[in-house]
Every structure is written in C-alpha cells, then in structure tokens.
Structure 1
C-alpha cells in the first residue's frame, strides 16, 4: 500500500527543500508539479497560512508588502 501524504504535508516538505524563502506564487508552482496539480494560488495561500498556524513554517513580511515563508530551522540558521 502506498504511503498516504496530505497536500499540506507535501507542501511543507517542498518548502523545506527550497533554497530560498517561498512566496505564494512559488508554492503554487510547486503544487502544480505535485499529485495535487489542480490546486491553485488560493489553495497554496491557505495551505501556507495553515502550516504557519501549526508552527511548521514561519512567515516573513517584507517592506514591499510581500510575504515569504521558511521553515523554523532555516530561520534559525
């Protein structure tokens, strides 16, 4: 039986593998290449927020109004 993984868990792992902080646009691109390819930008945005609320990601607001996301381990480094 294949391992079951949720879309949000998959996205958290994908963000962790990224070299740079992830924007909503980049998260939507990552999801487009995933088993959840039909997930759009709004779904990516909601997933990123949910992962932040669970402590799996950290949000960073830039002066230009953009928000990026990193893993807590990457922020501490």
Structure 2
C-alpha cells in the first residue's frame, strides 16, 4: 500500500530541498507542481504558518518580507 502524505507534509519536504528561504509566493509555486495543484496563495500562506506553529519551519524576515526556512534542529 502506498504511503499517504498530506499536502503540508509534502510542502515541508519540498521546502527542505530549497536553498533559500521560502516565501508565500514560492510555496504557492511548489504546491502548483504538487499532487495538489489547485492550492492557491492563501492555502500556501496558511500551510506555512501551520508548519511553523508545529516547529517544522522557522519564520524569518528577509528584505522586510516574511519567509520560512526548515528548522534544522527538528530533523
């Protein structure tokens, strides 16, 4: 049986592969190429905030914009 993965789990894994902090815009681009391609910008924003609340991502401010990086200590 194939392993089930949630949209947020998929996004967290995709963000770990990114070299730079991920903005909402970039998260929406990642989700557009995912098994959930109809997810929009608002969904990406909520997913990023939820992943940060769970301790998987860390919110950082880059050039006055909110971005997220993986929490390396959670790995």
TM-score, normalised relative to structure 1: 0.89
- After TM superposition, where is structure 1 displaced by more than 6 Å over at least 4 residues in a row? none
Taking the aligned partners of 1:3 and 1:32, their CA distance within structure 2 comes to 21
Q: What secondary structure is seen at the aligned counterpart in 1 of 2:14?
A: helix
Query: Aligned-pair distance for 1:63?
Result: 4.9
Partners in 2 of 1:72 and 1:6 — Cα distance? Answer: 19
Q: How many residues align?
A: 73
1:31 and 2:31 correspond: yes
Alignment-derived partner of residue 68 in structure 1: 67
Alignment of 1:1-77 (within 5 A): 1-64=1-64, 66-73=65-72
Q: Which has the higher strand share?
A: 2
Q: Root-mean-square deviation (CA), in Å?
A: 1.3
How far the C-alpha of 1:62 sits from its partner, in A, is: 3.4
Aligned partners of 1:33 and 1:68: how far apart in 2?
A: 20
